[in-house]
Homo-oligomer: A and B are copies of this chain.
Amino acid sequence: MQDLNIALIGGGFMGKAHSLAYAALPMYFWPAPARPVRKVLVDVTEELAATAADRYGWERHATSWQDVVNDPDIDVVDIATPNHLHADIAIAAAEAGKHIICEKPLAPNAGDAKRMLDAVERAGVVSAVAFNYRRTPAVALAKKYIDEGAIGTILNFRGTYLQDWSADPDSPLSWRFQKKIAGSGAVGDIGSHVVDLARYLVGEIAEVNSVVSTFIHERPLQASGFDALGAATKSDGPRGAVDVDDEAMTLVKFRDGAVGSIEATRNAWGRNNFITFEIHGTEGSIFFNYENRDELQVAFKNDPADRRGFRTVYTGPNTPYGEHLWPIPALGIGYGETKIIEAYEFVKAIAEGGSVRPDFADGYQTALVDEAILESGQIGQWVQVPLHERAGG
Tell me the A residues contacting B by CB distance below 8 Å.
13, 16, 19-20, 23-24, 26-28, 30-32, 51, 54-57, 141, 144, 150-151, 155-156, 158, 162-163, 165, 167-168, 209-211, 213, 215, 227-231, 247, 249-251, 253, 259-261, 263, 265, 267-274, 278, 280-285, 287, 290-295, 297-301, 303, 305-314, 316-319, 323, 326-338, 380-382
Contact = CB atoms under 8 A, between A and B. Distances in A.
B312 A312 contact: yes
17 contacts: A13-B326, A13-B327, A26-B54, A32-B55, A155-B247, A209-B209, A230-B327, A231-B323, A231-B327, A269-B299, A270-B297, A273-B330, A290-B332, A305-B318, A307-B313, A332-B337, A334-B334
Contacts of A310: 270, 311-312
Contact of A230 (B150, B253, B303, B317): B317
A272 B332 contact: no
B307 A298 contact: yes
A351 B323 CA distance: 36
Contacts of A334: 332-337
A329 B251 CA distance: 28
Contacts of A318: 305-306, 308
Given A261-B263, A268-B280, A251 B211 contact: yes
Contacts of A332: 273, 290, 293, 333-338
Contacts of A19: 27
Nearest to A211: B259
B273 A309 contact: no
Nearest to A52: B30
A211 to B, nearest CB: 5
Q: How many chain copies does the complex carry?
A: 4
A270 B285 contact: yes
Contact of A301 (B141, B269, B313): B269
Given A270-B297, A332-B335, 17 more contacts: A26-B56, A27-B57, A144-B306, A209-B251, A210-B251, A230-B327, A230-B329, A269-B301, A270-B287, A271-B285, A272-B330, A303-B311, A305-B318, A312-B312, A331-B335, A332-B336, A380-B382
A274 B295 CA distance: 13
Nearest to A287: B270
Contact of A158 (B263, B314, B336): B263
Contact of A55 (B26, B163, B263, B380): B26
A83 to B, nearest CB: 17
Contact of A57 (B20, B26, B293): B26
Contacts of A309: 270, 295, 311-314
B272 A328 contact: yes
Which 7 A-B residue pairs are closest in the complex by CB-CB distance?
A334-B334, A270-B299, A332-B335, A229-B327, A272-B330, A230-B328, A305-B318
A250 B249 CA distance: 10
A329 B215 CA distance: 22
Nearest to A296: B309
B268 A285 contact: yes
A267 B260 CA distance: 13
B269 A281 contact: yes
A380 B208 CA distance: 11
Nearest to A326: B335
A300 B269 contact: yes
A348 B259 CA distance: 44
A325 to B, nearest CB: 9
A89 to B, nearest CB: 23
A198 to B, nearest CB: 14
Contacts of A292: 292, 294
A311 B303 CA distance: 10
A329 B55 contact: no
